[in-house]
Structure 1
């Protein structure tokens, strides 16, 4: 019988690097150059770089809250977490992808170490949401954006059929 921790760990691992029903991040970003990651396919579409930055922002923020229980108030809007102008993209791309991969590893370690009481506890004093529910949503959020990355790669002609 699977426990809640097993389910969350399976979801997070599927998002990071395990084969499943969708391409994990390791496959979705495989072979992608910094310039390709920074390219926008349309005015209303975020770049892959922007999406990865968004995932780093939210995974980092929630992991800090999970570990420390407190965070400073959010000072930017969700839209601002999708970087539009990555600046020195070549220098930042490998670091950004590595940060996200490292966050997935840290999440896995934190979930393994936590007890059921932590999963049942509230994510924030002002919210009526347990960590169990919030982590399920975080995994869905990650999977959603990984799907967007795959879609953008297909639009750019950068998705090889051997990925599928």
Structure 2
């Protein structure tokens, strides 16, 4: 393995949670729409809210990579689309699908060699958006813990 492929693997793995924490797939496992939209006392967001927010930004990045010019939000609140119990399965499916697309993009050396609209190699926004997702992944785990919904059925770190 060379340095470039090592970086590609590292960035790609971040979209699935990284090696130091559970994956998004694990963190969302076993939640139905009612559970995903519940708010824990004292916490501002539900699991579904967090997933919708991360999904919003993943969609933004994918649009940039397709050569579109999506509008940047004026206020952070605009990047928190409403999440409903009825829409949970679709939200979860889209979030994981887009994560897979971004992870695959990180494995494509030719893709990474292109510059983004700000003149940076695409590794930079891919890493930044993955880190953003991992930040919120930790919140998902905390919300589930606060609701007594952790660990998920397949298991997860509890220490």
TM-score, normalised by the number of residues in structure 1 = 0.80
Q: Which residue of 1 aligns with 2:131?
A: 140
Gaps of 5+ in 2: none
Deviation at 1:2, TM superposition (A): 3.8
Question: Which digits, 9 at most, give the CA deviation of each residue in 1:76-118, with x for residues without a partner?
Answer: 53223224x534x22x100000001110122233333451xx4
Gaps of 5+ in 1: none
Report if the CA contact (8 A) 2:36-2:46 is conserved.
Answer: yes
Alpha-carbon distance change, 78 to 114 in structure 1, aligned in 2, over 3 angstroms: farther
Distance 1:86 1:142 in 2: 17
Report if the CA contact (8 A) 1:46-1:82 is conserved.
Answer: no
Distance 2:11 2:61 in 1: 14
Distance 1:70 1:146 in 2: 27
Report if the CA contact (8 A) 1:41-1:47 is conserved.
Answer: yes
Deviation at 1:9, TM superposition (A): 1.5
Distance 1:37 1:62 in 2: 24
Q: Which residue of 2 aligns with 1:6?
A: 9
Higher RCO (C-alpha 8 Å, min separation 6): 2
Q: CA RMSD in A?
A: 2.3
Distance 1:42 1:6 in 2: 38
TM-score, normalised by the number of residues in structure 2 = 0.82
- Correspondences of 1:74-153 after superposition (within 5 Å): 74=72, 77-83=75-81, 85-87=82-84, 89-90=85-86, 92-115=87-110, 118-124=111-117, 127=118, 129-153=120-144
- When the two structures are aligned, how many residues end up with a matched partner? 152
Alpha-carbon distance change, 42 to 130 in structure 1, aligned in 2, over 3 angstroms: farther
Deviation at 1:133, TM superposition (A): 1.4
